[in-house]
Structure 1
């Protein structure tokens, strides 16, 4: 299989949203993505961009698809340039890309920045070190199909509504019972530990930022408006119950999209389950929880509590590894929804707040509750 990526560089957020809406509309009219196995992603290496990946066993077919995608993107560029001629502050976006490289611990080359509205084609390497190529391709196809189904709806929401929609998706994933689960505890309570771990790790990561910068970031992780406050304090438990009852009496307009998302999660769960069984997915020592504790001496109080109360061998079980794969897939979905690293951590914070409120417990009590269900690292 031969792969090519076609990247369309757009730095203005509102213009990027118009471009994504256009691609969703094109797919709705032509079904071009699914019919041709195209994959859509967003990236930041060499500048903020939409990336469309084409693949084929046949070089002639690959070139044909590359030409079609180029044509769509060139037409889109012509439309966008009619009303968007503002100069781009490339120094500003170079700082953005530098910060993303730090936050994501990216080790490759990511500069110089490409020009606004430029289109480039390159070979694409889909291989991730831990996954078989077929699994990597399939998960990207599932992501693309989900986004194209949900994207037009999402981008017509207000910023407050978008966050709540993403919060619902993250809550569903958190309470999803995977194929390998043997748990007697509610999945959301286990996911709480994962989400809280990610959040506290992020806070430790920015600990050495300048005080005002850190203060601003931490403030943005908290509830910012009445819509968020109402969902966490009043509607979080109710939404969990709707999910646990298969949305039978749920009457919100997003019901169909939530069910479509849940079906995508189920498909991924089955894909990862088989992949782990067949050794098509492997985790190395550097990705283990024990390695995390060896590499980090400046631990949060939360991580110290986990180390004290929970047998870390549990984090090497198939169930936990499968859960990590699903959460990591969700994180790769967020850029398509124009959700930043900050938004990702805010989602972790808000779900954790919701769980704490429903359970009426703090993180230490939830850790102790969880550890009581473990026997030698394996759940009873």
Structure 2
């Protein structure tokens, strides 16, 4: 097994410990945050606002489960975010469909997929967990379940920005997911709709009692085939949580994460003694080894993880991925992840 201290020294010496601080934080931020809780982390720069929503509960002694649900709702409500919630890009037929999952550290979980006309799929996923004998409901069945449990149907019409992008895409109807990268201007603070077509908000939290929870929500790949479901609502792929070990979530091209049961793999690697960073790195490495063709395209996959002591880490296939972290010591941090490839 790789010696963790030596591993981190090599990463820092090789530039893997590069850091990005938000405008509100002057503290140095390293690739792997030391043990501390309560703490919340989430994918991408838009995770910062979501973290603040979660932190309002965590700072008051609230549960990790309530915090992650509340936190990702912030992103689901943002019409400017084109890969999550009501601002999401549609499928190739022009329909916005939403996927979400939620899980606590005891193994309780719920999820929905291909859900239409409900503003907060993460809340429906929690209802599936708490009010049904099932884990995953999809399509019309998920909608009927939501309506039966008091959720209001709100016609999630495609937003003007999303419709404009969709109509532009229709001219060629060429489907090609693009990685968010430093060159694209998205991953390090930009929000470029032309390339923002396969991302997710995944959030992990540990509360003051040391209890873990996670949530993952998305509108999926832009211009996807009707009925396509990615990793976000699949427990063990887009999200996995275990109080005995830690939690992990993913972002990027979901098919690649599903093939590797990625988030479950990260947690199991932590169970074997690896740090969150080491576990995320190995999960990414396995995807690249099994799918060598990924080296020649621009597919992006990234994982973030937190262990039961609150230590965090991340890794991506390509540069440009960052995650947001929030805790009592420094509430506004954006952390640039290391990457397996150099482009």
TM-score, normalised relative to structure 1: 0.24
Structure with a larger share of its residues in helix = 1
Question: Using CA pairs below 8 Å that are at least 6 residues apart, which structure has the higher relative contact order?
Answer: 2
**Rg (Cα) greater in structure:** 1
TM-score, normalised relative to structure 2: 0.26
